[in-house]
Structure 1
């Protein structure tokens, strides 16, 4: 008798999202097979209800060429990628959707519309990116932030980056996360500015400027995720050795860390942009199907949590 495989971290994430009402998702310029197939597969799995925004004739041509049935999927015609991004953002502002999903346009093109001061989706919170990592052999889901948006964040930016990640973890996993503020060392030194930021962020959490998570830092990567490394260094905290959210000093460090895990341990990396009015699903042509589905699942769970918060506030 074959013993069924244990569901992966992503499998559990997707199953949880399928139990929620799928959010209306504006898919911006899905004009290649990868982006269009990703949206339609997520719809077929019950994760999202897509509205495709872009040149209709081109979208239908891609669907026909790739054997994709668009069925009754709504398409909002826009002549090119820039117009599609602007139209999708305008529709979010008008309450037509709960999520944005990047299609085959450049990330910068979409984010330029999102961050426009007059017509975009800015909030008081700094916009940041979170990788939701499924690392083989590691028991828990790992978040890495920010490895895609903020190049050299200052302390105020990092406060928002941390809070965005905590809010996402709380929304989709419904526990209080352990947050490691990473640096090269685990001691505070003026020679490494990121250690000063780490210490300040931990104090900010103590004073209620960051809420919902347990913070510790500075921590090096090894003693953030490995209990034995933390024990050898004599670090005794609830976070050290058991971190769930890894906050990197800058984009370069985060990008290298996420890609090292992806290519050396064959980890999957789903991704979301947070801090705007709605979550934004960022997918890459190199993403496997599981990662694209997990990105949609994480965003759908976040949208469902927002719905519950609004309902409670209204009551």
Structure 2
């Protein structure tokens, strides 16, 4: 009998809804667990499970993957683009295939980055609360025009490209750094430069690159010193791109004027959970949220109907192809 069970970890009600809907065309047996995948739960995986489907905060260490292999798991299906939480060498050694969703409505993430930028700048979140209390005063709500500002973009893949196009529409000068220049963006007016020059020129800096061992703490004391005083930084990529304690110091001195983060290095202990009735012991995130010029959202940049539909469809299609012994698109297969 062909194995067709997919076990989901870190599953939320919206995951169950979208995957169940799209599974009507595939016929897999789906099982959903709310807990994240890690050493504490991996032994609960049933033998005969063909694939585990995981998200950004699941921990697929070498130890975890070895247990999955012993259980007969053949596929690790990431329902996200990033894969820094998977020990790929162990998966390859044990013959487990790893696939991902390399692009799911890049506009969703790009638009959220712009929403964070506008919220911080025009202080619409503060205005909303004021007006509800019948306070219509404008003092403290002063912003600045985006038109004419220099926007630096680090990473011009699908999400970075979408973000660049939006900022060009605002009338911004867009400078970018990427290992591979995008000729379409260059033709539209994006100016590619060195990483250091982008940092020096940018009034606004937006990060759109994956997290790798080479770029961890891309934003740190050294690189912050290259930036204009009062720079605005937006990060919708991965929390590890930013050295948080260095960033807090830069906020205190005014080197950073505004900070918007949808990701956080220690987010696995916080994000995707309702902690409203609990004491959060993470002093760093509490310090960040205490700044009036910092906006934190809980890794929601991807969270649109279009993106969730594409994530479900692409993930199920990847697993189906691997189950049939076929090779998915090279962009989605990691090993």
Task: Identify the structure with bigger relative contact order (alpha carbons < 8 Å, sequence gap 6+).
Answer: 1
TM-score, reference length from structure 1: 0.30
Q: Which has the higher helix share?
A: 1
Higher Rg: 2
